[in-house]
Chain A
Amino acid sequence: MSGLDTPALVIAVIGLPAVAALLTLLTSAWPTVRRWMGVLLALGQVVLVLGVVSVFDTPPSERAAAGPLTIAQLETALPWMSTVEPPTRLAVDGLNLYALLLLSVISLLALLTDLVDGPSRAGLRQTGIFGVSAAAAGFLLSRDLVLAAACHGTTALVLALVIHMGADARPRRPAALSFLVPGLLASGCLWMAAIWCRSASDGLSASVDALVINVIPSGAVVLLTLFLILHLPLVPLHRWQTHSCGEGAAYSGILLTGGLWTILGVSGWLRLGLPLSVDLFDDVAALLRIWGGLSALIAVAVAAIQRDLGDRLRWACVGLAGLVAVGLGSVDLAATSGALLLCAALGLPRASTLCLVCWLPAETGGRGLALWWGVSVLALTAVAGFGGFAGLLPLLTGGSHAIGSVVGSPVGPTAWPVWACLLASVALVGVLLAPVSGIAHREQTTTMPWPLRLGLIVAVGVALATGWQPAPVADWVVSDVKRILADAPLPTEATHQPMDEQPVDDPEDAP
């Protein structure tokens, strides 16, 4: 099968979960049938995405896409709003492939984890999970800003609904609202940017392929940047992370939010926002670097004093988002690729650990749970040997280069965000491991539900696999990031050339 003649796969990646959502509604009167059908369809989605991965052309052949854009593969037209807009293009590229894989796996895990919340409104939650999956796939595949905004808004709404439908005994409303407000705000930003860009380009199209050749208004760039920051999250716009994944949310909602929301924002901004921000690239990059570094430091300090395990974890997630922001703002092939890889690699561990913390009763513990917690923390904080480190290392290595080149001196006063990242990444492990003492010394009164255990096993397994063999995933990303950064207005080429040739695997370099 050729890698470029199977566009039906792309439609199926969106269509299958959409159909599954419909079938779930129809079969909600028969819980067993609904549950098994859901699992089978979610497995089918995983297989489908693996099929997309298998036909993906790595490294991509030169295709129609020109300029600072990702190279579209498996392109297909979607006649959506065709009287107003030209047919929208959907495509797979190196930046959304990992996110699609993550989406399918997390959807499957969310379906299984949903059992922990009990049978009440389980049908609605399952419908919501498939709805989120379909809408998020549409957002990830879209190369059109209007379609992306529509899919993004749908994802936010349905995901808030899933979060809202947690167990009856818990306060649910604050969690869902905390997520919905910034979620819809981000959708609004994307939508307004799309309309603004489209009108600035004589109203021809909202496709990024068409928009990239025009001058983009500064306001649209601000909106696109705000879209990213609302997703990451950075202090003080972090409340959706610290509130929505906490008390009162459904487990499946926590899993979807913790695993997907950040990668949706990062992947979407890299594909749709960054190519359109070329004129203000310098300011956007500086904003992300400095804000990310500050946010990481603040979040680590706050996490260190939290008595509640969940609060500590959620603040740690805010700190990790700061690292990603610094990488994205470094505008360097290594750092930007590293930021995307880090963000993607943290999805599963973050989702599973947030669920674990949400379940963990205050009076339950034991050394087995402490072991699970310790291993999850290693996976979540991107220590060496886990998937996140394959992103953190390029991020730190490349970040220092880009900063040096921007300020025109080797050391430069703005090199501190990289130091902040290094400090935060090292300190976060200690901050999250400190509560292990409390967990270990409690009596084990409850057994961990098997879906949560399965989620942890999958998360740790994937983190270990990608930690020791990260090259295939990195290969998907690198060529497209290089293409996007080719037109960046920073003096990357001249300053980086000598360092780029420096080998890093010389055994003599390392003690």
Chain B
Amino acid sequence: MTLTQMGPLLPIGVCATTLLAALVPVSADGPRRVIQSILLGAALVGSAAGYVATSGTLSSSGFGWLTIPGRGSAILANVYIGPESALLIGAIALLTLVTRVALPPATTRLDAGMLFGASTAAHVVVVGNHLLLRLAALEWLLLSVLLLVLQRRASILGLLVAHRIAAGALLLAALIAGGWQVRLFGEVTGTDSVTWVAGLVLLAALALSGGFPFHRSLLPIVSLPAAVRAHISGLLLLAAGGLVLRVVEMGDWTGSSTVGFGFILPALAAAILSLASTDLRRAQLWAWSSQLAFAVALTLSTPAVIAAGVWVCLALVRPAAAWAVDVVDAALGDTADANRWGGLAASLPVACWMSVLAAVGVAGLPPWGLFILHGHLLATQPPATPEFAMLALLPALVVVPALRLGLWPFLGSPRHSVLAPQEQTAVPSPVVATVIFSAVIGGLWPLTLLLTQHLPSTPALGTVAALGLVLLLVTGWVGRRRPDVDPELSASPLRQFVGDGLALSNRRFRGVTGGLRQLAWLVDIVSLVPGVLVLVCRGVGWGVTWVESRPLWWAVLTTVAMVAAILGGRL
């Protein structure tokens, strides 16, 4: 059997190996860690071999899974592998290995098992052929995420609502794809059907990975350790990427950049929230939410292989970014809000390197991959057109929050007196090596992909370079000086809702600060809609519960009335 023929089998092997790592029945921590590392390393090698072996798209034979009586043969449970999905499962394998190295020794077997179980489920979400197979894996992924979040005491209602919306949208999409639309949506054409399915899958991707307006679903993970936080968010991002890439492959999206532009709004809203937040971890979560919408928009506008590189890049830089944020948070203790950021580069050089690498990887500064990708985007548009301007500004929605988070805590005059003891901020060397390796691979991967395709035109590259440098300078200049602490910023509960407000260094910017805070508050109101719907349902439930608690004759009367109404209405 040649490597090419083994292509579809390798992802199955990667899934199986990752699952084995999740189920290692060794209770001692040391041996278990070694066995899991070996298995996950094998999975990474297998995924790399799969990527090399995959040329074109292939499907495995699989087995007959679900039958719908009277509707033909059974739905097959098999894998569908293409260059994009091969790349994504490689990223999942690398992310899992990084997480294994970075997990603290006190991590329980149950937690490690659930982390790697979630990785297995994410693999299947990416390579499953039928949408229902992906849905089955997604349910396990969501359960694992839920249980991992419960390491810390947190409210999971938002997470649950978003996850059920994602699962419901996928189920409905699968039903429509199976021919349901003829009865429930009227006489629709095949194109309409594809549009419905695509729209629902995009909705599922947004809800799954915390895109605006579902961004508050990510809040429960904010208090988790860096390794777990990065792993969960990275897996959800890659799973969403797998779904979106398959949707793009399913339909003809040539010239559909207008659809992609629709996702600029969620990216913009999340970016505003990130900029307005002074809580370091929340600001990072909203930045990740913005990155998701950006990646979706990009996927709908660029070739799939290149878009897959974006998803991989955004996921692989997350361990470094999360570790850096945790270190800064630990160093500053209770004063870690944006008013206190700055001057930590000399005190925390390792964290500074990790943070800068992650920020630059996402920001797309030369020669990092996203820089080239922005150039590639611009190269498809004629200069001096509205589309060109919009595409040139689109990356700013990702770049500005990333640079703010990555650079601000470390710029400015050195500070030592406010820091926590070094043992609380130290990062083990293996962790540093692996997360930096992951960030470098992630950052450079789109560049590698683009070099194998073609390079964009020089004007586009120049525009991107100029824009990136300007943004870098602005970020550095704004974040260089630290403001005085303004007690007014933490007074209002409404402000607490979106964080304490953006801190800028100069009183001249005070108007900008206030305006942005109000804007962020208005934007975040949209995210209350799912919660309001849940409240309405609860109100209805209370009413029915009261009726149900009445004596038995109520039940008899209600039954008679219901039967009479149903049958009477039919006459």
Contacts and interface: CB of A to CB of B under 8 A. Distances in A.
A368 interface: yes
Given A384-B139, A510-B129, A430 B182 contact: no
B71 A334 contact: yes
Interface string A263-286: 000000000000000000001001
Contacts of A337: 69
Given A410-B186, A411-B185, A418-B184, A334 B143 contact: no
Given A374-B147, A383-B139, A426-B164, A286 B68 contact: no
A384 B132 contact: yes
A194 B120 CA distance: 55
A464 to B, nearest CB: 10
Contacts of A300: 537
A505 interface: yes
A400 interface: yes
B80 A410 contact: no
A396 B71 CA distance: 13
Given A385-B136, A510-B130, A368 B184 contact: no
A259 B540 CA distance: 30
Contacts of A496: 70
Contacts of A499: 71, 179, 182
B92 to A, nearest CB: 19
A427 B183 contact: no
B67 interface: yes
A507 to B, nearest CB: 6
Nearest to B162: A430
Interface in A282-313: 283, 286-287, 290-291, 294, 298, 300-306
A302 B549 CA distance: 11
B72 A503 contact: yes
Interface string B185-221: 1110000000001100100000000000000000000
B65 interface: yes
Given A436-B150, A441-B153, A505-B72, A294 B562 contact: yes
A436 B184 contact: no
Contacts of A306: 545
Contacts of A400: 180, 183-184
A250 B243 CA distance: 47
B74 to A, nearest CB: 6
B175 interface: yes
Contacts of A201: none
A139 to B, nearest CB: 25
A349 interface: no
A261 B286 CA distance: 50
Nearest to B169: A426
Interface string A421-436: 0110111011001101
B129 A302 contact: no
A347 interface: no
Contact of B110 (A367, A390, A501): A367
Interface residues of A, number: 84
A6 interface: no
A357 interface: no
A302 B544 contact: yes
Contacts of B157: 434
Nearest to A404: B183
Nearest to B72: A503
B154 interface: yes
Given A393-B132, A434-B157, A511-B243, A502 B70 contact: no
B201 A511 contact: yes
A62 interface: no
Interface in B379-404: none
Contact of A236 (B80, B246, B554): B554
A468 B201 contact: no
A305 B538 contact: yes
B555 interface: yes
Contact of A430 (B129, B161, B178): B161
A410 B187 contact: yes
A333 B64 CA distance: 20
Contact of B156 (A291, A383, A419, A437): A437
A283 B180 contact: no
Interface in B129-160: 129-133, 135-137, 139-140, 143, 146-147, 150-151, 153-157, 160
Given A429-B167, A430-B161, A511-B201, A393 B68 contact: yes
Given A304-B538, A505-B75, A510 B131 contact: yes
Interface stretch (B270-278, B350-358, B563-571): B563-571
A397 B146 contact: no
Contacts of B378: none
A314 B504 CA distance: 54
Residue of A283, A301, A375 with most chain B CB atoms under a 10 A cut-off: A301
A410 B177 contact: no
A429 B164 contact: yes
Contacts of B160: 430, 433-434
A470 B66 contact: yes
Nearest to B538: A305
B567 A287 contact: yes
Given A236-B559, A430-B161, A333 B70 contact: yes
B229 interface: no
A474 B179 contact: no
A111 interface: no
Nearest to A375: B143
A501 B163 contact: no
A160 interface: no
Contacts of B77: 468
A401 B74 CA distance: 19
Contacts of B333: none
B69 A334 contact: yes
Given A393-B132, A400-B184, A510-B131, A502 B71 contact: yes
B250 interface: yes
Residue of B153, B160, B184 with most chain A CB atoms under a 10 A cut-off: B184
B168 interface: yes
Contacts of B537: 300-301, 304
Interface in B435-475: none
Interface in A370-386: 370-371, 374-375, 378, 383-385
B541 interface: yes
Contacts of A470: 65-67
Interface in A392-416: 393-394, 396-398, 400-401, 403-404, 410-412, 415
B246 A511 contact: yes
A51 B249 CA distance: 49
Contact of B73 (A237, A433, A503): A503
A119 B431 CA distance: 56
A56 interface: no
B59 interface: yes
Contacts of A404: 182-183
B243 A401 contact: no
A511 B247 contact: yes
Interface string A488-511: 000000001001111111011111
A441 B197 contact: no
Contacts of A430: 160-161, 163-164
Nearest to B540: A301
A37 B70 CA distance: 45
A300 B545 CA distance: 11
B489 interface: no
Contacts of A287: 563, 566-567
B559 A511 contact: no
Nearest to A287: B566
13 contacts: A287-B566, A301-B537, A367-B150, A384-B171, A397-B68, A397-B175, A410-B187, A411-B186, A470-B67, A505-B74, A509-B178, A510-B132, A511-B198
Given A504-B75, A505-B75, A511-B177, 11 more contacts: A236-B558, A239-B552, A283-B567, A290-B566, A291-B566, A375-B143, A384-B136, A397-B179, A398-B70, A502-B72, A505-B73
A-B pairs, top 3 by smallest CB distance, nearest first, are A385-B136, A384-B136, A426-B168
